[in-house]
Amino acid sequence: MAKPAGLCADKMKILSDETRLFVLEELLKGSKNVSELNALLKIDQSLLSHHLKVLREAGFVKSTREGKSIRYDIAPEARCDDPRAIELGCCRVSFAGLPKRKA
């Protein structure tokens, strides 16, 4: 069984990627489908899908099928009372006060 510090470290490793942080920050503003996220990120859709899969498997996001597309949102267990933060269980990651991302 993994120790709590190890579980927290695993989650932090997942969040150490700039693209994943950007996706989470955008989803905190509201659910989006892959096309909407891709329009913001301007990366290859297969790369975005990989990042979304990692975030989903880690319990940060949930997906819902809408016809031919999939909509992503922050997973309920990752939400907290601060609408600009993600709950990790061991701590929170806040997106408040981050500088705007360059296009």
Name the percent of the chain lying above pLDDT 90. 71
Cβ 38 vs Cβ 49: under 8 Å? no
Q: What is each CA distance from 61 to 2, 3, 21, 74, 89, in whole angstroms? A: 22, 23, 12, 4, 15
Residue 101 has pLDDT above 60, yes or no: no
CATH code of the domain made up of 4-94: 1.10.10.10
* pLDDT value for 6: 72
Mean predicted lDDT score pLDDT of the chain: 89
pTM over 0.75: yes
